[in-house]
Amino acid sequence: MRRFILIAVPYIWLLALFLVPFLIVFKIALSDTALARPPYLPQFDWATGLGAFLAELDFENFVFLTSDALYWKAYLSSLQIAVIATLITLLVGYPIAYAMTRAPEAWRPTLMMLIILPFWTSFLIRIYAWMGILSQEGFLNQFLLWTGVISAPLTILNTNVAVYIGIVYTYLPFMILPIYAALDRLDGSLIEAAEDLGCSRLSAFWLVTIPLSKNGIVAGSFLVFIPTLGEFVIPSLLGGSGTLMIGKVLWEEFFSNRDWPVAAAVAVVLLVILIVPIVLFQRNQQKQAEAEA
């Protein structure tokens, strides 16, 4: 009996607040927009029954998504931004993770904490901090003007460059930590062996270190890529009117246009796109767990 309660309580909670809401999104994606409260049709009605209700559902909203260029452009540009940002984060994060494993043993806990600490500080505040740095009269422009690198202030805020900076800044710890974990487990004698056998330090790095830290690279990349794809705060604060990201489109469809069925359809498609990287990520984690066991 106790076991039953132990299972039932979290189970029912998740069914009610995770799975059912999700089915509702799916249902509304198949509904029509209406000037009503709530603003969609059909409403389920016990009198007419399930058959009549189902008959009114259709894929019209999904057809609409393919016909309006805004949507598929937003999906494509989200994918593009997420891929490029993930690559930049990897290029920035790898040397940091690598240097951490080469640091004296006594420093490592402190270095780890310094990487994790920003993660605990508010995400919104960290993005906000960049608004003051990247604006026309911001610190970066002031600094560059002062050093004489540029003669007129650059426009960075409200462009995609600012979005990339924001993503790399926010998700850098997610990239560093799994790579650090993988590099930390790496047996140093393997690299010595490669060097003894005539590899230069660079080729030993390329042929031994990189392949052996592959799991960390893959895990870190997915941990950056997956949340970036549906990102809302970064494009809306740092991006401009030209920054198309699907999280922002969904938000505006819902809050500004009040078109709930289209917003729901946008969400369903986003989720379908996300299934591929999520499954790949899970598989990578499983492989890693098996390798350790």
Partner 1 sequence: MTRLSWFNVVSLTVGFAFLYIPILILVIYSFNESKLVTVWAGFSTKWYAELMQNEAFLNAAWVTVKVAVFSSTIATVLGTMAAYVLVRGGRFTGRTVFSGMVYAPLVMPEVITGLSLLLLFIGLNLDRGVLTIVLAHATFSMCYVSVVVSARLMTFDRALEEAALDLGASPFEAFRLVTLPIIAPSVIAGWLLAFSLSLDDLVIASFTSGPSATTLPIKIFSAVRLGVSPEINALSTIMIAIVTLGVITASLITKRNAVRQQRDQQLAERTS
Binders of partner 1 in range 42-61 (CB under 8 A)? none
Q: How many angstroms from the chain centroid is the CA of residue 110? A: 27
> At its nearest, how many Å lie between partner 1 and the CB of residue 130?
6
2 near partner 1, rule: CB under 8 A: yes
Whether the CB-CB separation of 157 and 198 falls below 8 Å is answered with no
User: Looking at beta carbons only, is 72 or 128 nearer to partner 1?
Assistant: 128
38 binds partner 1 per the rule CB under 8 A: yes
Least Cα distance to 248 among 129, 27, 70, 125 occurs for 70
- CA–CA separation, 262 and 269 (whole Å): 11
Listed ranges 55-63, 119-127, 148-156, 207-215: which one lies at the site for partner 1 (CB under 8 A): 119-127
As given in the structure block, the two tokens for residue 190 are 């393997």
- Exactly one of 111, 144, 145, 181 binds partner 1 (CB under 8 A); that residue is 111
Q: Which of residues 190-219 bind partner 1 (CB under 8 A)?
A: none
CB of 151 to partner 1, least distance (A): 19
| Least distance between partner 1 and beta carbon 231 (Å) | 8
Measured N-to-C along each axis, helices 123-134 and 139-147 cross at an angle, to the nearest 10 degrees, of: 40
DSSP H or E segment with residue 258: none
- Spatial separation of the C-alpha atoms in residues 270 and 29, rounded to whole Å: 12
Residues in contact with partner 1, total (CB under 8 A)? 82
Of residues 13 and 206, the one with the C-beta less far from partner 1: 13
SS3 256: coil
Cα 248 from Cα 238, distance rounded (Å): 12
Using CB atoms within 10 Å of the CB of residue 202, give its burial: 0 to 12 exposed, 13 to 18 middle, 19+ buried.
exposed
Q: Which is nearer to partner 1, 149 or 202 (CB)?
A: 202
Q: According to the binding rule CB under 8 A, does residue 276 interact with partner 1?
A: no
Question: 229, 234, 262, 265: which one contacts partner 1 (CB under 8 A)?
Answer: 229
Q: Which stretch binds partner 1 (CB under 8 A): 52-60, 81-89, 92-100, 211-219?
A: 92-100
172 binds partner 1 (CB under 8 A): yes
Nearest partner of 167 among 229, 216, 114, judged by Cα: 229
Whole-angstrom distance, CA of residue 188 vs CA of residue 202? 15
126 binding partner 1? (CB under 8 A) = yes
Task: Rule CB under 8 A: say whether 274 interacts with partner 1.
Answer: yes
Q: Verify binding: residue 96, partner 1, rule CB under 8 A.
A: yes
For position 19 contacting partner 1 by CB under 8 A, the verdict is: yes
